[in-house]
Each structure stands twice: as structure tokens, then as C-alpha cells.
Amino acid sequence: VERGRMRWMMRYIDEIPAPAVRVPSYNLAFLPHFQKMSEEEFLALANAKLDLRRYQEAAEAITRQQLDSAGALVAQLEGTVKVDEGSVANARLQVEYAKVTAPIAGVVGLRQVDVGNVVSSSDLTGLVVITQLQPLSVVFGVPESDIPALQYAIGQGAQLKAEAFDRDGRMVLAIGDLSALDNQIDASTGTLRLRALFANADRRLFPNQFVNIRLTVENKKGVLLAPTAAVQISDKDRFVFILNPDDTVTRRTVRTGVIDGLNTEILEGLKAGEVIAADGLDRLQTGTKVVVAGRRKPAGAPTEAPAAK
């Protein structure tokens, strides 16, 4: 659907066959009728004005009553012409009301009425629902602890990029820009709402779709990373289970930084090359014997990764 007119573009969207919306015949008939009346009255007024001017020029040869009658006729016809002009304007308005135009550009959903249904301006369901897809905005929240870093990046004039991932967080659906921040933190969740705008040129994003948003605030090089799934959270700290040479594990507290999807930045508590447990963590405690399934990549190998909030 394009703004101002309807254009059917997608086969899977329910289409309204023509003529689904009909303009009542009396709406179309009134306009030329009133236009014709207005033209006739306008010509009569022009002729009456001409007669009045002639009477005024020959005022000494005619009676006062004839002159007054000619003036009254002009005034009467002027009023009639104004009434006709109002009738023409009203008829044009009624014809415009009978036209159904799209107020925005978007995609048409399933139709709400069928051919032959009677509709009126008071109907709450409408004819069809139009949803804007290009551009499309996504509202998401960030923890209040991340707001200072976000404000700093914005203060430096950075144009922050937002990536929209699918529900599983594995596939990038679209890349957009951060467009707005809310003016207060939600006390119930401890988060600040943000809005990102996506061009959605390929229409991979859909209204009310669940997506995961990764907002790139800064890039860090040479950081120590560990699988996010391996980092556990308790009431007091965050910790991992380190694999010992005798295939037992030891619980170790770590201090984390940026979380980038599947990876978490480790600031303290873990060294490059150490192996940590990533599966069956709910059954582990210090001293638990484990079986190493295959060769595991050393945790925390230095790499370059974007910091995501």
C-alpha cells in the first residue's frame, strides 16, 4: 500500500477484489446536478446585474419601483448563487468521503469486510488494517548499570548501531541505528527503554516479532573471553568451574565485563589457556570428577569482539 492509494503487492495478503468499495450513485449524481444549478443561477445573476445597470443609467425614464425591483432581484440571485456554491462544495465533499485512501505506506492485512457488506463511518473494525514496515522501529531495554557507558558513547558523538537477531540469537535479521532513549528508568525492571530504527528493506522484520537486540557501544581488542553459558551467577558473585589436571573441577569467582551474545568478557579470575566446564554445571561443585568430551578450546583466548549491551 502506498500513501494516498492502494496497491496490492503480496500474494499472501488477502486481496479485496474490485469493485469491493462502491461509491453510492446518488453521491455521484448530486455533484453535476448542483454544478448545473450553480451555472444557471450565475448566468441569471449576470443578466440581472446587466439589467440593473441599464435601469440605473435610465433612472429618469423609469419609475423608482422598477429600479428597486431590479436591485432586489440582483441581491436575491447573489444569495441563491452562494447557496448553490455551498451545495456544490458539500457534494464534492461527499464524493471525497466515498473514496477510501491509505493514510500511510505499509502492508495490508486480512480484510475486515466482504463484498456486499454495508459499512459506515461509525464502524470500529474498519475495512482493513495497514501496518508500516519500512522503516520499522524496535523498542528494547538495557540495564541501568550499562547506561553510563551508553551515555558516554552518545556524548562522544558516536552513531550507535543496533543488530536485530532472531529468537535464538544466532541469525542477524537487520542492522539499524539507535534513534531515541526514554527519559526515565523503569523501576519495576531496572532498565531504560531504547528505540532503534531499521530500514527493513528486505522485510525480514515483522511487527510484534520477538528479536534480540545487540547494541554496539565500543570495540575492545585483546580481551579475555569465556563462553557465556559457562559463567554462573549466584547471590554473591559470578563464577566458573576450572578443570584441574586430575579431571576434577574447582569453583572460581570471576569478574565479568561486556557480554557479547555467546561470549562474556573476563576481567579477573581467569587466565588465557585455562579450561572451564560448559556443560552439566548444575551438577558440579569443587572436587567433582568430570569426563572431558573431546578437545576443548582454551577459554579466554585473546580476540577482538564488539562490546554489546
Count of helix runs (H) and strand runs (E) in the chain: 3, 13
Dist. CA 274–CA 265, nearest whole Å: 15
pLDDT of residue 184: 92
pTM for the whole structure: 0.50
pLDDT of residue 155: 86
How many C-beta atoms lie closer than 10 Å to residue 107's C-beta?
Answer: 17
In the chain, the domains with their CATH numbers are 25-99 (1.10.287), 136-218 (2.40.30.170), 224-308 (2.40.420.20)
Closest to 142 (Cα-Cα) out of 199, 211, 214: 214
Closest to 163 (Cα-Cα) out of 304, 309, 262: 309
Q: Which helix (H) or strand (E) holds 137?
A: strand 136-143
Q: Please report, in tens digits, the pLDDT of each residue of the chain (309 residues total).
A: 444 444 433 333 343 333 444 445 555 666 676 677 767 777 777 877 877 777 677 777 777 777 778 778 778 878 877 877 777 787 777 777 667 677 777 888 888 888 888 777 777 777 888 888 888 999 999 888 888 888 888 888 888 999 999 988 889 999 999 999 999 999 998 999 999 999 998 889 988 899 999 888 877 788 899 999 999 999 889 999 999 998 899 999 999 987 776 889 999 999 998 999 988 888 888 989 888 876 554 555 444 333 333
- For 132, half-sphere exposure in the C-beta direction (CA atoms, 13 angstrom radius) is 13
Quick one: cell of 305? Answer: 569482539
Checking DSSP bridges between strand 263-268 and strand 225-227, what pairing results, if any? antiparallel
